[in-house]
Amino acid sequence: MAADLNGGLPMEVWKSSVVLEHIRATEGLRTPKTTYQVFQALLKERGIRGFWTGCSARMVEGFFSGAVLLAGKETLRRSLMASPMVRKAVPPALIGFIAGAAGGAAQALVMAPTSFLVTATTAKDGHSVLEAAREVWSQRGLRGIYSGSAAVAARQATNWASRQGFTELVRPRISIQGVPGEIVAGCLGGALSCLNTPFEVSRIHAQPKMYLGNKSTSKKGTKSESSSLYSTMQQIYQQEGMGGLYVGLAPRIVQACYQTVFLVCIPRLVER
């Protein structure tokens, strides 16, 4: 369960559900609901266990993605910090941005399929992760399992560049010391990292359509993941404005604060 906890699965399900409810509302299928109303509906319709939808996929992700992230970003950060020339010329915050981006991009190798399966099972309640995986594999193969990978890579690279970088930037500027100071710095860094929410909203828009067999999506997948990501963001912006790209921001901030403390601040405290 520890592997699952580092991903903040309940916040992931809540966030995805908020975006999915928003999509259904804009398509005229449901009455618009607030973030809190979606939380209440999840609790009423599925119970507390509903927040752990897609748990097995998230467990696999938790076991591997945290290790990939920490190995990637901490190895690069320590290598850069070990060089007197780099340390003198490059501020710690910028080193944090660089190391975080590298670790986050590498993390997408594990997170792309698992994020897809968590979102798919959230979109189609009643389907297990294994059922979703078999269905997608039989119809689209490996490429189908990696649907939305461009959005995941962009999200993770910017996620951890921001979380690591902003935490490094904030840390020396707060007066609180010790463990409380690290937690405050991590929460601020995590909250600021949510500026990249449009990547996540676009992913959640695209992936359920791929899974549920939307007529506009061929069995072989989209023509280009990167162009699909851009066109999805553009379409949301044209229809709903900037606010449409930041749907589900509240649960995402909670998740980002939690993950930043878990994977940025705790390793730093252990290092000391």
The secondary structure of 82-101, three-state, reads HCHHHHHHCCHHHHHHHHHH
Domains of the chain with CATH codes? 2-271 (1.50.40.10)
Q: How would residue 225 be classed by pLDDT, with cut points 50, 70 and 90?
A: low
CA 173 to chain centre: 27
Whether pLDDT at 221 is above 50: no
Give percent of the chain above pLDDT 90.
15
Query: How high does pLDDT run on average in the chain?
Result: 80
Whether pLDDT at 1 is above 80: no
Cβ atoms of residues 11 and 254 within 8 Å? yes
The model's pLDDT over 61-118, given as tens digits with 9 standing for 90+, comes to 666 777 788 888 888 988 998 888 888 889 888 998 998 898 888 887 777 777 777 7
Integer Cα distance of 190 and 142 in angstroms: 32
The model's pLDDT over 14-23, given as tens digits with 9 standing for 90+, comes to 888 898 888 8
